[in-house]
Amino acid sequence: MNLIAKRYSVLPGFGLSLGYALFWLGLIVLLPFAALALNASTLGWTAFIEQVSAPRVLASLQLSFGAALIAASVNALMGFLVAWVLVRYSFPGKRFVDALIDLPFALPTAVAGIALTTIYAPNGWLGRYLDPLGIKVAFTPLGIVVALIFVSLPFVVRTVQPVLEDLEKELEEAATCLGAGRWQIFRRVIFPAVLPALLTGSAMAFARATGEFGSVIFIAGNIPLVSEIAPLIIISKLEQFDVAGATAVAVVMLALSFFVLFLINLLQWWTARRHGMK
């Protein structure tokens, strides 16, 4: 520590600014977590297990994380495609489409939820045609996935886009001169270069999707054991003044989120190492 602090830097006040940054981080991020853990610990071990292993809780956790995983995977694919189209081609209205990507960021999630429900309800614009085919979207887990895809789309597009833009044209030209075909260039030159950004974007999309509440509750229908998401369980427990029970579920969500983020970070570290960037 001594060594770092004594190293010369152009910016003065290293100690003060570091202290302030850590204090701020602690206040904003770590303190709520600590409170959460403390609250859950009042429950006792057996009661905690009992709370989180209730069938309704288990089903909701499975739904929340499963739907988020599907949504993130779909977005990894489609988001990459959208980013590719926006970077590689020019077409009329491109700037408009580009601006449209950020809409899910800007839109209040409740508005998104209502809009999606209106479209996919059995008597909605799209639902009316899907219903006779036996495809039910609204008030089913499928609806939840659709909502999650909607809200987490910008993450993948906005992380992949700049990396694709920065990819030098020379790399492709070099590959062409060496006799590579288009598909080979994509698979062996472009995709590996974009992969770290794609992973980051998907991870952020996943994180956002697991915690999504506003847009989901409208379209989910909230049927216990079928389409009830974990954040809703927490809310309903709180409404019944079961604070300890709510925090127990919250702690499990927190642990799972951490675990998934850790896995993705590990994967990123591995690709970065493999690509000689570290």
Partner 1 sequence: MSIEIRNIEKRFGNFTALDKVSLTVESGELLALLGPSGCGKTTLLRIIAGLEQPDAGQVLFEGRDATHQHVAERQVGFVFQHYALFRHMTVFDNVAFGLTVRPRKVRPEAGEIRERVMQLLKMVQLDWLADAYPAQLSGGQRQRIALARSLAVEPRVLLLDEPFGALDAKVRKDLRRWLRKLHDDMHITSVFVTHDQEEALEVSDRVVVMDHGHIEQVGRPDDIYEQPATPFVTRFLGDVNLFHGRVEDGRFTHGDFAHALSTEAAAGNEQAVAYVRPHDLDLARARDGALAAGTVEHIHAVGPLVRVEVVPERGDAIEVVLGKERFRELALVPGEQVYVTARKLAVFSGDYAI
Stretch that binds partner 1, among 6-14, 80-88, 244-252, 270-278 (CB under 8 A): 270-278
Q: State the Cα–Cα distance between residues 60 and 233, nearest whole angstrom.
A: 7
Stretch that binds partner 1, among 63-71, 92-100, 135-143, 177-185 (CB under 8 A): 177-185
Regarding 277 and contact with partner 1 (CB under 8 A), the answer is yes
Regarding 224 and contact with partner 1 (CB under 8 A), the answer is no
Which amino acid, one-letter code, is at 1? M
Long-range CB contacts (within 8 A, 24+) of 35-42: 36/247, 36/250, 36/251, 36/254, 37/251, 39/243, 39/244, 39/247, 40/244, 40/247, 40/248, 40/250, 40/251, 42/244
Give me 112's structure tokens: 């998104």
Tell me the DSSP string of 201-227: HHHHHHHHHHH--HHHHHHH---TTTS
Strand, coil or helix: 7 = coil
CB of 274 to partner 1, least distance (A): 7
Stretch that binds partner 1, among 106-114, 123-131, 173-181, 246-254 (CB under 8 A): 173-181
The burial class, CB within 10 Å (0-12 / 13-18 / 19+), for 118 is middle
CB of 90 to partner 1, least distance (A): 16
Q: Between 32 and 192, whose beta carbon lies closer to partner 1? A: 192
Give me 229's structure tokens: 């998401």
Regarding 168 and contact with partner 1 (CB under 8 A), the answer is yes
CB of 266 to partner 1, least distance (A): 18
Regarding 162 and contact with partner 1 (CB under 8 A), the answer is no
- Determine which residue in the list 180, 243, 254, 267 makes contact with partner 1, applying CB under 8 A: 180
- Determine which residue in the list 45, 46, 55, 170 makes contact with partner 1, applying CB under 8 A: 170
- Determine which residue in the list 15, 92, 93, 179 makes contact with partner 1, applying CB under 8 A: 179
Three-point CA angle 244, 246, 249, nearest 5°: 110
Regarding 171 and contact with partner 1 (CB under 8 A), the answer is yes
CB of 278 to partner 1, least distance (A): 9
CB of 186 to partner 1, least distance (A): 12
Tell me the DSSP string of 94-124: HHHHHHHTTHHHHS-HHHHHHHHHHHHSTTS
Which residues contact partner 1 by CB under 8 A?
A: 168, 170-171, 173-181, 184, 188-189, 192-193, 274-277
